[in-house]
């Protein structure tokens, strides 16, 4: 594997990590998950930095990454503390609850009303046998096992 | 003492008294009048000494003074000095705008000073009795002292700006004194009205000054040294010698504007409305300020500016500034006399009579002859005594009647108040112009001077009309004066309830000044006015402004080239005419008194019938020709409406425009506001999208 | 250090800043310590300013106590240069003086966050002193804007009910104008740089003034009337500050809502920064555009004079009335300044001081009244002289000063202004037969009558007549007390409502002879002015009399600065009219040649009589008139 292929692969990984982070940050409403996504973006960037550092054959990228790690650690401490505080306030980790910074005359964000679950057909949930009991065995299932 | 010391002392004594009383008033309390009276008497003595000095100086100057008169000026400090402020025309050096605090001594000033300080002293003594027990006792004396300071300054300064300054200052004192009983709404309103009407006059006066400044390049009366050599003062020796006064449109404009100021201060039509209202002030104030001194300032000013008026005499088709003065004066005299006929408030009768007499003085000044102007000043002089006397008499009556001044509510007081009655009678006789009382001499001279103008010249017919109006006014004057006298002192004795224990003769501090003034009203006319050329005229014609006129008349006489005999004939004819006038006017005055006696001495039913018969005329006179109402409807009310409209305009249009401009940015901002939803993820989304767009653009660019 | 006025000037500028810091730091020490400290610092500043002014040479000086602290920025050449001259020296002193009054009137009135209040007040003082002392154009602008900030907070935090709105309006209104001013100032500087031989950048005001005489901003069509545009840019900021007629609406609002100290300073000093700017920059740097704009500005001024007076007449709130009277009085100032002659301009500058004294005093008195009754509504009062005789004394005195009574300061300024504007009008009429400026002058005199009317009427309604006062200290905010009072109405003798509060105590005398009518006993109520309040007003009174009796003393100091500006700015008008520039003795020998030169039709088409000079911008050819007139000397 030559250097340029290594760079390409690493950058690809970095990009994928970053994109995953972006999508996660935009789509998830759990603050901790959002935070993790943000960290993921950071790591994506770090990977590409390291890759570039290697490609240019100097330490610039890597030293920067060391900084990023440090900062990210601090940030994690702070951010998690904040998240904790917010959680204490409302008992929820939903980011959409916090919209006080909107313009005064704008309507507050409200979750779209999901239609009530009216499916009449009863659902069959898997049942677990309580501990200490012999689980029930289904003959048919055992017969049609795909792999044994 | 030298002129300069005296000139400084005369105003500064009252000023010191004023400061003293104002500072220690709460300590002095009922003794507040002592410093003031002492200062006034001191000023009066100084005035007499000054008069004496000036008379000696004139005598010493002899013939030299005849041409340009006598004046002595002295500068105290420079108020404002702006070098090279204006160039009146291309061929003279730019003039400095210099206003010096300059005093002057000349016959006109001396005469005014002596009169003012004398009357003030008496009024101050009188006030000590009249104002006794008032909670604002010391305040009253402080104001009065301030007034006398301003008034003495007004007549002794030698500069138009300073004249204007003290002109306004006496107005302010008048404002304070009219509103002395500030708790009385009418008094407060009257004070404001007086000030404002005077301000309207001063509007013209100020413009007149500006015009004088741009025309003459100085505002001093006397000649001074400027930075480019000598500056010829407006009424200075140089101009008087060369007759270098501006005539034509500018000259007339100056005179008319000054006349406007004089009309305000001397309460001439159409600015006369403040004076009757000013009677809301304490009566001594009415006597001093609104009868004897302040209101004569306008006459003093016009007399001082005689050369300017003389230059502007020939106006449009012969009707110049002097004629305007005469017409306004005569009209006011007649109008005020007609109003005075039916007033029932004793003080208001006197107020209208003051207006009327001031009108006489204007008429006299409007003749523009030396005789006219000196007789106008002479009437000013005699009027000060007898009108102060009459007002103080009114005050004495009011004092006794517990503040009631409506003549319908009291009567027959001759037994109750003998001193007041007799002195009042003397005042009435003087006012009516009965021989040998003071008023006779001066009024007679005025009529004579107007009559002289009838016999020739451009405005012969105009002056004829004025003369007959003046004669009629003389009759009316006698009538209303004695109407007031009879209603107050004759008939059945009636005393209003308000009088209480006051209903008796006033104390000596009040009757004393009355007596002195009565003697003056009896004697000053004869003493100064008797003779072919009165003592008064002989003295006054040495005032520079009047000396100029004198000189001109002499020149005219020389130019006419009359022989001795012709001149003799002319003089003797003139003298006969004057004697006839004196007799006629006396007869008319007696007729007026007779009529008053007929209507008011017996039962007063006849007068009621006449009033009913002439109901419209009676109402017109009773309602003061509704001039106040006309002003209110035509000027005051529209101005109020305009003020309200301006305010609405300001609030809704001007400020509305501003707010409209202020409303534009939010309009645009409104569109963008909805983006600020407060959702973190929305912001993040926007950011990501923007970055994508930017990257896309970057790629496209390349 | 006292031998060196420049050090003293720096000290004077520094003291209030220092005071502000100290006062701010004392925030927790309590109100009385804070206000005493503030007063001490203000007094020190005043003392130092007074000593400085006492050193000012009697004949005037162009760069008194000038010093420069070096360049703020190497590349930009902006310098911290300060100094005083005849134009600024009195306003400088007045700023220091009025701060004392402002602190003393706030003594009891400010209870909330006093440290912040006094610190801001001292900062404001520093800003005002700086504006008048600055000799660098950027430094001036910085101070000019800096004065807004403390006042913004003073109004916004310690004002009345509608304070936020007022503060924001005040700030944005003035600020939007002054941004344009900044552009104008920069244009001037850049033009100067482009024209100067060495292409050197300078921000020094005296330097610029001198340079622009050599190469003025162009005033012709080829350059799109650049000078005029710059003039208008400067005009935007200064006219709003003054405020000139249609741009005045922020003033009443700001005055009404501001705390007393804010009103005093605002009326006393801040408005004058506008007129000061006009003289210093518009007239000093752009004389030709100024001359061209004279009729327009004079019309605006005279409309301001009459209109302000009329609107004042219709007011029901005392502070608002005085605010509109400021519009009227500042109209007089502008009228004098834009007469472009010595009399008018000296009067205008004197009137700047006078208005500061009299209106500052009036606002202070009304503030004291408000402190006692918590209302400023005129209709709520009557006959207060009986209750508060000392206050009435000061009120009448300030009123008299405000309406220009001779002997007090107002007269000297007003008379010079009116005389100057009349002189300008007369000159124009004589030379071009256009009566426009003369009409303006005549109309403006009527402002004196109207001025007396609304002021005396105010005094009459509030201080004369039978005693009538709001129920003493009924409720703090007199708005919105409806419910509480209705409940208590049944067992309260004095109802507290907006209009039925006023209890008539006495009907007055009823007749003339009040001298003997015993007055009913005075019911208990607020006390008259105390020593502190008298001390707040007394300095103003002293200066009122001083200026009134000897205005020459104050004018002498300013002549050397103002007269050249007046002569320079008035030149185009004088020249266009065919007159010699004022101030030059007429040439004796070439007397006949001058009019011939001026009338020569080939060189330039003089719009003399056919077309009023005033209605056209003075085009280039008229500069040759100036030239011709100058050459002929």
Question: Cβ of C609: how many Cβ atoms within 10 Å?
Answer: 13
Could you tell me if C515 lies within 8 Å of chain B, comparing CB atoms? yes
Interface of B with C in 160-179 (CB under 8 A): 161, 164-166, 168-169, 172, 175-176, 179
Using N-to-C axis directions, what is the helix angle for C287-313 and C318-337, rounded to 10°? 150
Q: What percent of chain C has pLDDT over 90?
A: 40
What confidence score (pLDDT) does residue C614 get?
36
* B288 pLDDT more than 60: yes
* C489 pLDDT more than 60: no
Contact B86 C423 (CB under 8 A): yes
Q: Which residue of A has its CA nearest to B676?
A: A102
Q: Is the pLDDT higher at B474 or at B411?
A: B474
3-state secondary structure (DSSP) of residue C503: strand
Residue B655 C-alpha, separation from nearest chain C C-alpha, in angstroms? 6
Q: What is the pTM of this model?
A: 0.84
**Which residues, including other chains, have CB under 8 Å from residue C588's CB and lie 6 or more apart?**
none
Write the DSSP symbol of residue B85: E
3-state secondary structure (DSSP) of residue C481: coil
Phi-psi domain of B561 (left: phi exceeds 0; alpha: psi -120 through 50; beta: other): left
Return the partners of chain C (3 or more C-beta pairs < 8 Å).
B
d(CA C35, CA C24): 11
Q: Is the pLDDT higher at A5 or at C597?
A: A5
**Which residues, including other chains, have CB under 8 Å from residue C548's CB and lie 6 or more apart?**
C401, C406, C407, C408, C409, C410, C411, C412
Band (C503; pLDDT cuts 50, 70, 90): very low
Could you tell me if C385 lies within 8 Å of chain B, comparing CB atoms? yes
Residue B348 C-alpha, separation from nearest chain C C-alpha, in angstroms? 12
Residue C177 C-alpha, separation from nearest chain B C-alpha, in angstroms? 13
Q: Which residues sit opposite C71 in a β-bridge?
A: C79
3-state secondary structure (DSSP) of residue A28: coil
C586 closest CA partner among B212, B239, B95: B95
Which of A127-131, B207-211, B383-387, B473-477 comes out lowest in average pLDDT?
A: A127-131
Beta strands B229-231 and C64-71 are: unpaired
What sign for the dihedral angle of Cα C385, C389, C395, C397? Answer: positive
Contact B681 A25 (CB under 8 A): yes
- Name the helix (H) or strand (E) containing C104: helix C89-106
B332 closest CA partner among B387, B267, B261, B384: B267
Which of B45-59, B176-190, B563-577, C619-633 comes out lowest in average pLDDT?
A: C619-633
A103: chain B residues, CB-CB within 8 Å: 673-674, 676, 678
Q: What percent of chain C has pLDDT over 70?
A: 81
Q: Greatest CA separation found in chain B?
A: 125
3-state secondary structure (DSSP) of residue A1: coil
Q: Which residues sit opposite B73 in a β-bridge?
A: B104
Contact C511 B206 (CB under 8 A): no
Share the mean pLDDT of chain C. Answer: 80
- Name the helix (H) or strand (E) containing C79: strand C79-84
d(CA B313, CA B306): 10
Of B674, B681, B685, the CB nearest to A106: B674
Could you tell me if B615 lies within 8 Å of chain C, comparing CB atoms? no
A109: chain B residues, CB-CB within 8 Å: 677-679
User: pLDDT, tens digit, for every residue of C533-579?
Assistant: 999 999 999 999 999 988 888 888 888 888 888 888 888 887 765 54
Return the partners of chain A (3 or more C-beta pairs < 8 Å).
B
Contact A99 B677 (CB under 8 A): yes
Q: Is the pLDDT higher at B558 or at C633?
A: B558
Beta strands C503-504 and C468-469 are: antiparallel
What confidence score (pLDDT) does residue C520 get?
66
- Kindly state the average pLDDT of the residues B444-473: 86
Q: Is the pLDDT higher at B12 or at B571?
A: B12
- Report residue C565 as tokens: 């500006």
Band (C299; pLDDT cuts 50, 70, 90): very high
Interface of C with B in 55-114 (CB under 8 A): none
Contact B688 A109 (CB under 8 A): no
What confidence score (pLDDT) does residue C481 get?
39
- Report residue B406 as tokens: 């409506």
Which of B98-107, B673-682, C562-571, C607-616 comes out lowest in average pLDDT?
A: C607-616
Residue C11 C-alpha, separation from nearest chain B C-alpha, in angstroms? 33
Asked whether the beta carbons of C36 and C44 are under 8 A apart, the reply is no
B666: chain A residues, CB-CB within 8 Å: none
Residue B680 C-alpha, separation from nearest chain A C-alpha, in angstroms? 7
What confidence score (pLDDT) does residue C217 get?
86
The DSSP-derived string for B433-458 is T-TTSHHHHHHHHHHHHHHHHHTSST
Which of B552-556, C74-78, C562-566 comes out lowest in average pLDDT?
A: C74-78
B685: chain A residues, CB-CB within 8 Å: 26
Residue C581 C-alpha, separation from nearest chain B C-alpha, in angstroms? 9
The DSSP-derived string for C155-218 is HHHHS-TTHHHHHHHHHHHHHHHHHHHHHHHHHHHHHHHHHSTT-----BHHHHHHHHHHSPPP
CA atoms within 13 A on the CB side of A104: 1
Q: Is the pLDDT higher at C544 or at B553?
A: C544
Contact A102 B677 (CB under 8 A): yes
Burial of C334 (0-12, 13-18, 19+ CB in 10 A): buried
What confidence score (pLDDT) does residue C592 get?
36
Could you tell me if B631 lies within 8 Å of chain C, comparing CB atoms? no
What sign for the dihedral angle of Cα B186, B187, B189, B194? Answer: positive
Q: Please, where are the H alpha helices in C403-530?
A: 409-432, 436-463, 482-488
Write the DSSP symbol of residue B143: H
Could you tell me if B701 lies within 8 Å of chain C, comparing CB atoms? no
Contact A103 B680 (CB under 8 A): no
Contact A106 B681 (CB under 8 A): no
Is it the case that chain A and chain C have 3 or more CB pairs lying under 8 Å apart?
Answer: no
| Regions of chain A short of the pLDDT cut 50 | none
Predicted complex: ipTM over 0.85: yes
Band (B618; pLDDT cuts 50, 70, 90): confident
What sign for the dihedral angle of Cα A54, A60, A66, A69? Answer: negative
Asked whether the beta carbons of B355 and B266 are under 8 A apart, the reply is no
Residue position matching structure tokens 């009589």: C609
3-state secondary structure (DSSP) of residue C504: strand
d(CA C212, CA C205): 10
Question: Cβ of A4: how many Cβ atoms within 10 Å?
Answer: 9
C254 closest CA partner among C353, C318, C375, C169: C169
Write the DSSP symbol of residue B683: H
d(CA B502, CA B510): 14
Interface of B with C in 656-685 (CB under 8 A): 657-658, 662
User: pLDDT, tens digit, for every residue of B330-347?
Assistant: 999 999 999 998 888 889
Cis peptide bond prior to B194, omega within 30° of 0: no
* B105 pLDDT more than 80: yes
What confidence score (pLDDT) does residue C617 get?
38
Based on C-alpha coordinates, what's the Rg of chain A? 24
- Interface mutation vs chain C, best among B135, B185, B641, B663, most C CBs within 10 Å: B185
3-state secondary structure (DSSP) of residue C553: helix
- Kindly state the average pLDDT of the residues B397-409: 85
Query: Distance of CA B55 to CAs B4, B51, B551, B558, Å?
Result: 15, 6, 19, 28
C236 closest CA partner among C249, C247, C224: C247
d(CA C345, CA C343): 6
What confidence score (pLDDT) does residue B610 get?
82
User: pLDDT, tens digit, for every residue of C177-188?
Assistant: 889 999 999 999
Question: Cβ of C55: how many Cβ atoms within 10 Å?
Answer: 15
What confidence score (pLDDT) does residue B211 get?
92
What confidence score (pLDDT) does residue C17 get?
93
Contact A100 B685 (CB under 8 A): no
Q: What angle do CA B482, B486, B488 make, to 5 degrees?
A: 115
B453 closest CA partner among B563, B358, B577: B577
Through-space distance between the first and last CA atoms of chain A, rounded to whole angstroms: 41
What confidence score (pLDDT) does residue B357 get?
92
- Report residue C293 as tokens: 């704009």
Contact C582 B206 (CB under 8 A): no
**Which residues, including other chains, have CB under 8 Å from residue B431's CB and lie 6 or more apart?**
B353, B357, B386, B387, B390, B439, B477, B481
- Kindly state the average pLDDT of the residues C77-102: 88
Could you tell me if C465 lies within 8 Å of chain B, comparing CB atoms? yes
Q: Which residue of B has its CA nearest to C419?
A: B210
- Report residue B16 as tokens: 């010191």
Asked whether the beta carbons of B322 and B359 are under 8 A apart, the reply is no
Asked whether the beta carbons of B84 and B94 are under 8 A apart, the reply is yes
Asked whether the beta carbons of C349 and C371 are under 8 A apart, the reply is no
Contact A100 B674 (CB under 8 A): no
- Kindly state the average pLDDT of the residues C332-339: 92
Could you tell me if B211 lies within 8 Å of chain C, comparing CB atoms? yes
Asked whether the beta carbons of B596 and B431 are under 8 A apart, the reply is no
B644: chain C residues, CB-CB within 8 Å: 314
Of B674, B679, B688, the CB nearest to A96: B679
C35 closest CA partner among C118, C113, C154, C144: C118
Using N-to-C axis directions, what is the helix angle for B460-489 and B564-600, rounded to 10°? 30
Residue B156 C-alpha, separation from nearest chain C C-alpha, in angstroms? 16
Return the partners of chain B (3 or more C-beta pairs < 8 Å).
A, C
CB pairs under 8 A between A and B: 40
Contact B87 C579 (CB under 8 A): yes
CA atoms within 13 A on the CB side of C415: 30
C442: chain B residues, CB-CB within 8 Å: 207
Share the mean pLDDT of chain B. Answer: 87
Could you tell me if B655 lies within 8 Å of chain C, comparing CB atoms? yes
Q: Which residue of C has its CA nearest to B227?
A: C585
- Most confident range, picked from B231-235, B363-367, C432-436: B363-367
* B65 pLDDT more than 70: no
């Amino acid at each position: 594997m030559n250097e340029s292929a290594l760079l390409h692969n690493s950058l690809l990984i970095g990009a994928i990590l970053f994109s995953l982070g972006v999508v996660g940050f935009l789509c998830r409403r759990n603050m901790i998950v959002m935070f993790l996504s943000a960290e993921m973006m950071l790591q994506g960037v770090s990977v590409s930095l390291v890759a570039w550092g290697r490609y240019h054959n100097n330490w610039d990228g890597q030293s920067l990454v060391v900084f990023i790690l440090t900062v990210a650690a601090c940030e994690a401490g702070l951010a998690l503390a904040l998240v904790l505080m917010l959680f204490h306030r409302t008992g929820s980790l939903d980011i959409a609850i916090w919209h006080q910074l909107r313009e005064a005359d704008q309507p507050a964000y409200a979750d779209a009303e999901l239609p009530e679950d009216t499916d009449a057909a009863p659902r069959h949930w898997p049942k677990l046998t309580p501990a200490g009991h012999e689980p029930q065995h289904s003959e048919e299932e055992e017969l049609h096992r795909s792999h044994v | 003492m030298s002129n300069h010391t005296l000139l400084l002392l005369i105003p500064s004594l009252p000023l010191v008294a004023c400061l003293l009383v104002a500072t220690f008033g709460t300590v002095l309390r009922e003794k507040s009048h002592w410093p003031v009276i002492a200062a006034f008497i001191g000023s009066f003595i100084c005035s007499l000494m000054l008069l004496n000095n000036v008379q000696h100086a004139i005598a010493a100057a002899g013939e030299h003074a005849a041409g340009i008169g006598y004046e002595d000026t002295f500068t105290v400090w420079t108020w404002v000095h702006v070098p090279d402020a204006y160039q009146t025309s291309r061929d003279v050096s730019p003039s400095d705008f210099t206003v010096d605090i300059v005093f002057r001594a000349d016959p006109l000033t001396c005469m005014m000073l002596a009169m003012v300080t004398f009357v003030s002293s008496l009024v101050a003594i009188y006030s000590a009795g009249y104002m006794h027990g008032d909670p604002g006792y010391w305040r009253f004396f402080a104001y009065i002292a301030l007034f006398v300071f301003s008034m003495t300054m007004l007549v002794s300064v030698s500069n138009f700006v300073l004249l204007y300054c003290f002109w306004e200052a006496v107005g302010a004192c008048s404002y304070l004194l009219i509103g002395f009983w500030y708790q009385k709404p009418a008094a407060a309103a009257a004070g404001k009205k007086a000030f404002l009407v005077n301000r309207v006059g001063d509007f013209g006066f100020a413009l007149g000054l500006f015009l004088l400044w741009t025309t003459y390049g100085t505002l001093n009366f006397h000649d001074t040294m400027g930075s480019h050599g000598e500056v010829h003062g407006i009424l200075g020796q140089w101009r008087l010698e060369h007759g270098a006064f501006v005539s034509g449109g500018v000259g007339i404009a100056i005179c008319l504007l000054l006349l406007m100021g004089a009309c305000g201060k001397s309460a001439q039509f159409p600015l006369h409305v403040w004076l009757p209202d000013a009677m809301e002030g304490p009566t001594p104030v009415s006597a001093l300020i609104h009868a004897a001194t302040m209101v004569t300032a306008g006459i003093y000013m016009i007399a001082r500016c005689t050369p300017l008026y003389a230059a502007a005499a020939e106006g449009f088709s012969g009707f110049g500034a002097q004629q305007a003065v005469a017409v306004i004066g005569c009209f006011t005299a007649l109008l005020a006399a007609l109003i005075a006929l039916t007033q029932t408030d004793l003080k208001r009768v006197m107020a209208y009579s003051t207006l009327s007499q001031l009108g006489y003085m204007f008429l006299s000044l409007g003749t523009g002859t030396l005789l006219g102007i000196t007789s106008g000043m002479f009437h000013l002089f005699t009027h000060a005594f007898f009108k102060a006397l009459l007002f103080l008499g009114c005050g004495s009556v009011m004092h006794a009647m517990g503040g009631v001044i409506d003549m319908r509510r009291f009567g027959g007081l001759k037994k109750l108040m003998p001193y007041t009655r007799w002195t009042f009678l003397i005042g009435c006789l003087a006012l009516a112009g009965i021989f040998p009382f003071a008023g006779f001499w001066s009024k007679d001279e005025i009529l004579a001077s107007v009559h002289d103008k009838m016999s020739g010249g451009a405005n012969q017919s105009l002056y004829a009309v004025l003369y007959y109006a003046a004669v009629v006014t003389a009759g009316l004057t006698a009538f209303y004066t004695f109407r007031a006298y009879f209603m107050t002192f004759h008939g059945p004795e009636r005393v209003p309830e308000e009088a209480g224990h006051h209903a008796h003769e006033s104390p000596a501090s009040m009757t004393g000044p009355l007596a002195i003034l009565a003697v003056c009203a009896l004697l000053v006319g004869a003493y100064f006015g008797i003779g072919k050329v009165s003592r008064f005229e002989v003295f006054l014609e040495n005032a520079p402004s009047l000396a100029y006129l004198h000189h001109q008349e002499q020149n005219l006489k020389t130019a006419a080239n009359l022989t001795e005999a012709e001149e003799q004939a002319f003089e003797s004819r003139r003298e006969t005419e004057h004697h006839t006038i004196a007799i006629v006017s006396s007869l008319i005055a007696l007729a007026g008194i007779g009529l008053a006696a007929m209507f008011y001495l017996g039962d007063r039913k006849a007068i009621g019938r006449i009033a009913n018969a002439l109901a419209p005329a009676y109402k017109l006179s009773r309602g003061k020709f509704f001039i106040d109402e006309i002003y209110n409807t035509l000027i005051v009310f529209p101005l109020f409406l305009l003020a309200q409209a301006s305010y609405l305009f300001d609030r809704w249009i001007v400020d509305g425009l501003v707010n409209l401009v202020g409303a534009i940015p939010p309009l645009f901002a409104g569109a963008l506001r909805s983006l600020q939803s407060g959702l973190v993820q929305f912001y993040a989304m926007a950011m990501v999208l923007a970055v994508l767009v930017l990257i896309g653009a970057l790629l496209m660019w390349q | 250090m006292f031998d060196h006025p420049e050090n003293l000037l720096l000290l004077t500028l520094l003291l209030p800043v220092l005071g502000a810091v100290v006062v701010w730091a004392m925030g927790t020490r309590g109100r009385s310590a804070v206000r005493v400290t503030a007063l001490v610092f203000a007094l020190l500043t005043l003392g130092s300013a007074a000593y400085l002014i006492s050193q000012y040479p009697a004949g005037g000086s162009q760069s008194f106590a000038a010093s420069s602290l070096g360049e703020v920025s190497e590349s930009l050449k902006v310098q911290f240069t300060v100094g005083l001259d005849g134009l600024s020296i009195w306003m400088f002193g007045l700023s220091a003086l009025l701060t004392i009054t402002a602190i003393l009137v706030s003594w009891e009135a400010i209870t909330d966050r006093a440290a912040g209040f006094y610190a801001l007040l001292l900062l404001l003082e520093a800003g005002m002193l700086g504006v008048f002392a600055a000799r660098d154009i950027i430094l001036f602008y910085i101070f000019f804007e800096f004065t807004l900030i403390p006042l913004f907070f003073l109004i916004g935090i310690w004002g009345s009910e509608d304070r936020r709105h007022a503060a924001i309006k005040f700030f944005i209104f003035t600020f939007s104008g002054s941004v344009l001013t900044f552009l104008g100032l920069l244009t001037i500087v850049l033009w100067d740089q482009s024209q100067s031989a060495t292409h050197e950048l300078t921000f020094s005001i005296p330097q610029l003034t001198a340079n622009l005489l050599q190469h003025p901003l162009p005033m012709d069509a080829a350059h799109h009337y650049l000078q005029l545009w710059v003039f208008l840019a400067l005009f935007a900021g200064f006219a709003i500050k003054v405020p000139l007629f249609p741009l005045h609406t922020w003033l009443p609002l700001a005055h009404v809502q501001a705390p007393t100290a804010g009103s005093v300073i605002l009326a006393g000093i801040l408005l004058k920064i506008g007129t000061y700017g006009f003289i210093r920059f518009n007239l000093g740097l752009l004389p030709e555009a100024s001359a061209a704009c004279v009729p327009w500005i004079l019309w605006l001024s005279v409309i301001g004079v009459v209109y302000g007076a009329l609107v004042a007449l219709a007011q029901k709130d005392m502070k608002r009335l005085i605010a509109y009277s400021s519009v009227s009085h500042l109209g007089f100032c502008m009228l004098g300044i834009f007469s472009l002659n010595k009399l008018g301009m000296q009067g205008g500058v004197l009137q700047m001081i006078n208005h500061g004294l009299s209106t500052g005093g009036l606002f202070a008195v009304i503030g004291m009244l408000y402190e006692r009754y918590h209302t400023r509504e005129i209709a709520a009062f009557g006959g207060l002289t009986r209750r508060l005789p000392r206050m009435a004394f000061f009120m009448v005195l300030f009123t008299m000063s405000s309406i220009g009574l001779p002997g007090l300061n107002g007269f000297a300024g007003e008379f010079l202004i009116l005389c100057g504007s009349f002189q300008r009008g007369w000159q124009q009429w004589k030379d071009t037969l256009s009566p426009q400026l003369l009409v303006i002058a005549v109309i403006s005199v009527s402002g004196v009558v109207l001025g007396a009317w609304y002021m005396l009427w105010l005094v009459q309604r509030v201080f004369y007549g039978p005693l009538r006062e709001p129920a003493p200290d009924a409720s703090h905010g007199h708005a919105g007390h409806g419910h509480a009072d209705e409940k208590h109405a049944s067992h309260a003798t004095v109802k507290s409502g907006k209009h039925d509060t006023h209890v008539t105590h006495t009907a007055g005398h009823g007749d003339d002879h009040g001298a003997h009518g015993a007055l009913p006993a005075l019911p208990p109520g607020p006390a008259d002015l105390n020593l502190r309040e008298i001390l707040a007003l007394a300095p103003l009174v002293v200066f009122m009399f001083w200026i009134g009796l000897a205005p020459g003393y104050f004018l002498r100091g300013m002549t050397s600065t103002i007269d050249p500006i007046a002569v320079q700015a008035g030149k185009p008008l004088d020249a266009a009219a065919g007159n010699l520039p004022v101030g030059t003795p007429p040439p004796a020998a070439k007397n006949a040649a001058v009019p011939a030169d001026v009338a020569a039709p080939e060189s330039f088409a003089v719009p003399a009589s056919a077309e009023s000079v005033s209605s056209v911008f003075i085009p280039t050819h008229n500069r040759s008139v100036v030239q011709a007139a100058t050459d002929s000397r």
